[in-house]
């Protein structure tokens, strides 16, 4: 699905990516995608094919494309958040922080998906 360039998902990801770039140490989207794919492969012991494609992720940023599978968005976002700054050290606060980040990411993805579907003249599938 394609939304408007700079749509809600692109803006959300850019915001986090800029925080990751601002931290000390190098940041590379390509390297981040490779690390996420390593983790995805570990989680898919059954040989599933849920992996990030660098071109596709780039299109999330540049063309406002919205992936159909939220799990890919969350896997990438979760890694970006880790690169952007450490979550709270306290386990309870960390769990609440992660749940808040997950909800924000999912809500942003849903808004982007719905906008892309509306632009395509279809109803929300949500």
Q: Do 126 and 106 form a contact (C-beta atoms < 8 A)?
A: no
Please compute, for residue 33, the number of CA atoms within 13 A of its CA located in the half-sphere on the CB side.
13
To which residue do tokens 């299109």 refer? 59
User: Is pLDDT above 90 for 37?
Assistant: yes
Residues 5-36 have pLDDT tens digits of: 558 899 999 999 999 999 877 889 999 999 99
Task: Give buried/exposed letters for 37-61 (b at 16+ CB in 10 A, else e).
Answer: beebeeeeeeeeeeebeeeebebbb
Give the model's pLDDT for residue 17. Answer: 94
Per-domain residue ranges of the chain: 8-119
Q: How far apart are CA 124 and CA 111, in angstroms?
A: 10
CA distances from 38 to 42, 43, 96 (A): 6, 9, 26
Instruction: pLDDT band for 2, please (50, 70, 90 cuts).
Output: low
Closest CA to 30 of 43, 11, 17: 17
Give the model's pLDDT for residue 47. Answer: 65
Residues 62-108 have pLDDT tens digits of: 988 999 999 999 999 999 999 998 788 899 999 999 999 999 999 99
Farthest CA pair distance, the chain: 46
């Amino acid at each position: 699905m394609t939304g408007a360039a700079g749509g809600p998902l692109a803006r959300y990801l850019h915001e986090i990516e800029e925080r990751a770039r601002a931290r000390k140490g190098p940041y590379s989207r390509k390297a981040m995608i490779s690390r996420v794919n390593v983790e995805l492969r570990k989680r898919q012991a059954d040989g599933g094919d849920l992996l990030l494609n660098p071109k596709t992720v780039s299109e999330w940023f540049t063309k406002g494309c919205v992936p159909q599978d939220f799990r890919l968005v969350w896997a990438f976002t979760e890694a970006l958040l880790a690169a952007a700054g450490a979550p709270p050290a306290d386990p309870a606060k960390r769990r609440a922080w992660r749940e808040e980040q997950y909800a924000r990411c999912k809500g942003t993805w849903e808004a982007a998906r719905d906008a892309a579907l509306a632009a395509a003249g279809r109803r929300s599938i949500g």
